[in-house]
Structure formats: structure tokens, C-alpha cells
Chain A
Amino acid sequence: GQQLNQSPQSMFIQEGEDVSMNCTSSSIFNTWLWYKQDPGEGPVLLIALYKAGELTSNGRLTAQFGITRKDSFLNISASIPSDVGIYFCAGSPGVCGGATNKLIFGTGTLLAVQP
């Protein structure tokens, strides 16, 4: 099945550092989302993006919907130990609100933060 290419696969950083990760697709997406998964839990939504070029923040997190509609970026500023987890991008190629929309997930970025 289709998957989004997400990079990097993993990151090991020091507390306080900024983090960037991105997601690319060979086809156009109309919605981009970023999720975080903690161990033993389901993914939790961080940011949703609906328009090409859109830049949205959620606290220390900022995500952008790429102009080409084929990519998205997530930045985390001033990382803290609780930022540890797996970050997934997800995209939907379908029409906004369509019941048959499929959310396709990226391959994930594992983030480890050293206190």
C-alpha cells in the first residue's frame, strides 16, 4: 500500500535542541496531519493542516503544508524529555470531508531526548 516517506528515521538529541522532520509524497495531498505516539498508546493528533502553504503552531510545535502539496514539515523548538516518542505524518489525497477518505501514514520518526 501507499506510504509517505518520512525523514529522518530517528533522532537522538540533547534537551533544549530544536528538531526538524519532514514527509514527502509522490502524489498530491489535500490534508496533512502530524501525530505523536507514546509507548503503549495510540497516536495523538498534534497539528492538522488543510491548505497549501499553511503554517500552524501548537505550543513549541510548528508544522507547514508544503506549497507543492507533496510535502509537510514539523519543527519542535527547545525540546524537553517528554517530547520522546514516534512522530508520524499522515496525509489524505481525498476531497475534504469525503467519507471515503483514506489517511495514509508516514514511516515515522523516532525521537529520543537526552536530559
Chain B
Amino acid sequence: DTAVSQTPKYLVTQMGNDKSIKCEQNLGHDTMYWYKQDSKKFLKIMFSYNNKELIINETVPNRFSPKSPDKAHLNLHINSLELGDSAVYFCASSQGGRGANVLTFGAGSRLTVL
């Protein structure tokens, strides 16, 4: 069983389109995240949700809208896609307490905007 699963793994789309990436975790964790990894492999946090509540929003353009229907799911919707949005997007989750900083990552969703 995959602990953190995200779909799709690959997404190729035209500029201006709207797309979504879905994420689910079966670890029972309270906190979920979206990270963006650019072409230089820099990993940067975008959003964090704790028990369905947004707690971190790292100055991401408002074209990006995360949605957490329940604490096991965190989806990312992107409007009006731009070339610079091309990257690998990673979903992650963590539990509370001492493990709050120990993130379990999904396999990533590679988004290519043409």
C-alpha cells in the first residue's frame, strides 16, 4: 500500500489551461503539504494543511488553490497555467508531536506546460 499517493504522475498541458493534482495519504497523519521542485531540484514549500485547515501559504500566486476535503486528502488546482509552472509537484504528510517535521513524500507529479 502506497503511503502517500498522488495522481497523475505526468501531466502535459497547454498554457492557459486549468489542471488539478490529487493527493491521498493512508498514514493517519494530520498535516499535509505541497512542495514544488524546479529544474535545479530546489524543493520549496507551497502550502501546508493541518486537519483541513490552511496553516502555511508561501506567497504562491493565487492561481494555485489547494483544497482539503478531509485530513487524508489534499488536492492542488492550478488556473491559467504558465510556462513557469512547469515543475515536479510533491505532496507530503506528517504526524504531530516530535514527528511534525518528518515528512513522508509522494512520488511526485511532473507538470509540463507547453
Contacts and interface: CB of A to CB of B under 8 A. Distances in A.
Interface of A: 1, 3, 31, 33, 37, 40-45, 48, 50, 86, 88, 90, 92, 94, 96-105, 107-108
10 contacts: A40-B107, A43-B103, A45-B103, A45-B104, A48-B101, A48-B102, A96-B100, A99-B96, A102-B48, A104-B45
A42 B98 contact: no
A28 to B, nearest CB: 14
B92 interface: yes
A99 B103 contact: no
Nearest to A108: B41
Interface in B4-56: 4, 30-31, 41-45, 48, 50, 55-56
A101 B45 CA distance: 11
A63 to B, nearest CB: 14
Contacts of B66: none
Interface of B: 4, 30-31, 41-45, 48, 50, 55-56, 58, 90, 92, 96-98, 100-108
A66 B93 CA distance: 26
Nearest to A50: B98
Nearest to B4: A42
B88 to A, nearest CB: 9
Nearest to A37: B41
Given A33-B101, A92-B101, A42 B107 contact: yes
Contacts of B48: 100, 102
B97 A97 contact: yes
